[in-house]
């Protein structure tokens, strides 16, 4: 809008924000929890514009990156057992314990890429003789589209494998484990949830600012967090009011509530986090891939879990997702592991930290 001062003069405002942040900076470790924020930070070199006292860390905010090996392995097993597995393109390239969905497709399994759940439903409608399993990943930003599709009605041969994640419980857990002073909250999540789920951080004494996705949004969030820290405050501020309402999107929240129950969920690098995922409600059990198929193939699922336990891990994605390392700490970064030859999930998706660093931050 013409009344938005950022849009009228973004360069000037960004210079002012950087000046402001750089004036007597307070040492701070600020964590964002969003792959899109990381992409903006890396693309615009925001870390290089900040004084050395301010460190910006990346948390578990990329849906592809936080999907655990177990879910990828299970999807591969289902595909190799003759089901049709459909999911978003990046998921096909994430290495599982022994192979990726892409590899399984090369061996003859029916694995297909889709852009949305609606594409996946069309595949089911066009192939009534096949069983179609949609591997659903994502955060609060995309979960409402899955809920809306369920409420519209699904073909009888369509099953949902939910690997959906809720952001705030993961951050609650991170707070106990990492040394962080303040958080940038993801604006697109808050568009759906509102600001309420982030109030827990405020209660625990952490400043939180909900931010949008332009470079000036990130700089504004950092300036506001610094202001709070200098004043000894810890509150939640909404720096993305052009999209986020405090109460969120009530229609989307109701759809999610009608379709899913909150459940414990496994996150890559963080383990099983209580109440951090969604499963289909019992009334949708006919469309729940876990209910319909996991027991049938439990021996194979357990075998891969044992292989996984014994396998030596060289990828440090899990450490990167918890803000304890950055991609340049990984000896494979930019050598064995590149976007065309990803060793771990953080290099696959363009929301992954390794991918962003490869694209924008290499010397
Ligand atoms: Fe994993 Fe590759 Fe990132 Fe290293 S560079 S942490 S192997 S994704």
Q: How many angstroms does the Cα of residue 315 sit away from the middle of ligand 1?
A: 5
Q: In which band, very low, low, confident or very high, does the pLDDT at 363 lie, cut at 50, 70 and 90?
A: low
- Measured from the Cα of 330, ligand 1's closest atom is 4
Residues 287 and 323 occupy one common structural domain = no
Bridge partner list, 114: 88
Using a 10 angstrom Cβ sphere, with 0-12 exposed, 13-18 middle and 19 or more buried, the burial of residue 51 is middle
Q: In which band, very low, low, confident or very high, does the pLDDT at 361 lie, cut at 50, 70 and 90?
A: confident
CATH code, domain with 136: 3.40.50.11740
Is residue 159 within 8 A of residue 292, CB to CB? The reply is yes
Nearest in space to 26 (alpha carbons), one of 222, 236, 235, 238: 222
How far apart CA 129 and CA 45 sit, in angstroms, is: 51
Residue appearing with tokens 């705030």: 168
With b for 16 or more beta-carbon neighbours within 10 A and e for fewer, the 13-23 pattern comes to bbeebbebbee
Residues 204 and 296 occupy one common structural domain = yes
User: Which of 342, 356, 357, 358 has most ligand 1 atoms within 8 Å of its beta carbon, as the pocket-test mutant?
Assistant: 342
Cβ(346) to ligand 1 under 6 A?
yes
- Measured from the Cα of 347, ligand 1's closest atom is 8
Torsion angle of C-alpha atoms 18, 20, 22, 24, degrees rounded to 10: -170
Cβ(315) to ligand 1 under 6 A?
yes
Residues 260 and 354 occupy one common structural domain = no
- Measured from the Cα of 334, ligand 1's closest atom is 5
Strands (E) in 177-249, as ranges, are: 182-186, 208-211, 236-238
The mean of the pLDDT values for the chain is 92
Mapped onto helix, strand or coil, the DSSP state of residue 129 is coil
Selected residue with higher pLDDT from 127 and 318: 127
How far apart CA 109 and CA 114 sit, in angstroms, is: 16
Residues 352 and 263 occupy one common structural domain = no
Q: How many angstroms does the Cα of residue 355 sit away from the middle of ligand 1?
A: 9
Q: How many angstroms does the Cα of residue 271 sit away from the middle of ligand 1?
A: 18
How far apart CA 92 and CA 61 sit, in angstroms, is: 19
Average pLDDT in the 302-322 region?
87
- Measured from the Cα of 317, ligand 1's closest atom is 6
Residues 252 and 334 occupy one common structural domain = no
Residues 295 and 348 occupy one common structural domain = no
The contacts of residue 295 (CB under 8 Å, 6+ apart) are none
Backbone φ and ψ of 265, nearest 5°: -150, 145
Q: How many angstroms does the Cα of residue 307 sit away from the middle of ligand 1?
A: 20
Name the closest-CA residue to atom 5, ligand 1.
Answer: 333
Q: Tokens for 52?
A: 């050395």
Cβ(347) to ligand 1 under 6 A?
yes
Q: How many angstroms does the Cα of residue 345 sit away from the middle of ligand 1?
A: 7
Q: Give me the interface pTM, i.e. the ipTM.
A: 0.99
Residues 339 and 210 occupy one common structural domain = no
Nearest in space to 273 (alpha carbons), one of 16, 90, 66, 127: 66
DSSP codes joined into one string, 170-199: HHHHHHHHS--SEEEEEHHHHHHH-SGGGH
How far apart CA 347 and CA 325 sit, in angstroms, is: 15
Q: How far is CA 348 from the centre of its chain?
A: 13
Residues 351 and 202 occupy one common structural domain = no
Cβ(332) to ligand 1 under 6 A?
yes
How confident is the model over 260-287, as pLDDT tens digits? 999 999 998 788 999 999 999 999 999 9
Residues 297 and 328 occupy one common structural domain = no
**Number of domains within the chain:** 2
How confident is the model over 174-217, as pLDDT tens digits? 787 778 999 999 999 999 999 998 888 888 899 999 999 999 99
- Measured from the Cα of 316, ligand 1's closest atom is 6
Q: Lowest mean pLDDT of 19-23, 177-181, 242-246, 325-329, name the range.
A: 177-181
Name the closest-CA residue to atom 3, ligand 1.
Answer: 354
Residues 203 and 328 occupy one common structural domain = no
Q: Tokens for 272?
A: 């099983």
Is residue 32 within 8 A of residue 59, CB to CB? The reply is yes
Nearest in space to 315 (alpha carbons), one of 165, 94, 137, 167: 94
User: Which of 329, 348, 354 has most ligand 1 atoms within 8 Å of its beta carbon, as the pocket-test mutant?
Assistant: 354
Residues 120 and 8 occupy one common structural domain = yes
Domain holding 323, by residue range, is 319-360
Q: How many angstroms does the Cα of residue 94 sit away from the middle of ligand 1?
A: 11
Q: How many angstroms does the Cα of residue 334 sit away from the middle of ligand 1?
A: 9
Is residue 32 within 8 A of residue 201, CB to CB? The reply is no
């Amino acid at each position: 809008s013409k009344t938005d001062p950022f849009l009228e003069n973004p360069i000037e405002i960004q210079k002012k924000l950087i000046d402001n942040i750089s004036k007597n900076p307070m040492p701070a470790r600020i964590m964002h929890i969003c792959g899109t924020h990381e992409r903006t930070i890396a693309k615009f070199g925001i870390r290089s514009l900040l004084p050395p006292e301010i460190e910006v860390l990346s948390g578990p905010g990329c849906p592809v990156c936080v999907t655990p090996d177990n879910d990828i392995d299970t999807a591969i097993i289902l595909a190799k057992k003759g089901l049709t597995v459909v999911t978003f393109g990046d998921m096909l390239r994430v290495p599982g314990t022994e192979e990726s969905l892409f590899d399984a497709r090369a061996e003859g399994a029916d694995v297909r890429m889709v852009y949305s759940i609606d594409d996946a439903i069309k595949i089911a409608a066009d192939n009534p003789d096949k069983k179609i399993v949609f591997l659903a990943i994502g955060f609060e930003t995309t979960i409402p589209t899955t809920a809306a599709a369920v409420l519209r009605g699904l073909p009888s041969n369509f099953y949902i494998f939910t690997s959906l994640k809720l952001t705030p419980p993961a951050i609650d857990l991170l707070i106990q484990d990492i040394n962080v002073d303040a958080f940038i909250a993801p604006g697109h999540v808050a568009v759906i949830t509102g600001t309420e789920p982030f109030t827990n951080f405020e209660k625990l004494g952490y400043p939180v600012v909900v931010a949008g996705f332009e470079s000036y949004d990130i700089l504004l969030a950092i300036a506001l967090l610094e202001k709070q820290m200098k004043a000894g405050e810890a509150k939640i501020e909404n720096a993305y009011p052009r999209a986020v309402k405090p109460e969120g999107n009530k229609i989307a929240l109701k759809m999610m509530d009608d379709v899913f129950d909150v459940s414990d969920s496994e996150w890559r690098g963080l383990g099983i986090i209580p109440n951090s995922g969604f499963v289909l409600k019992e009334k949708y059990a006919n469309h729940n891939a876990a209910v319909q198929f996991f027991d049938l193939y439990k021996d194979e699922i357990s075998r891969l879990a044992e292989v996984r336990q014994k396998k030596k891990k060289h990828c440090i994605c899990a450490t990167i997702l918890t803000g304890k390392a950055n991609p340049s700490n990984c000896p494979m970064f930019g050598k064995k592991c590149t976007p065309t030859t990803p060793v771990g999930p953080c290099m696959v998706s363009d929301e992954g930290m390794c991918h962003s660093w490869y694209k924008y931050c290499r010397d």
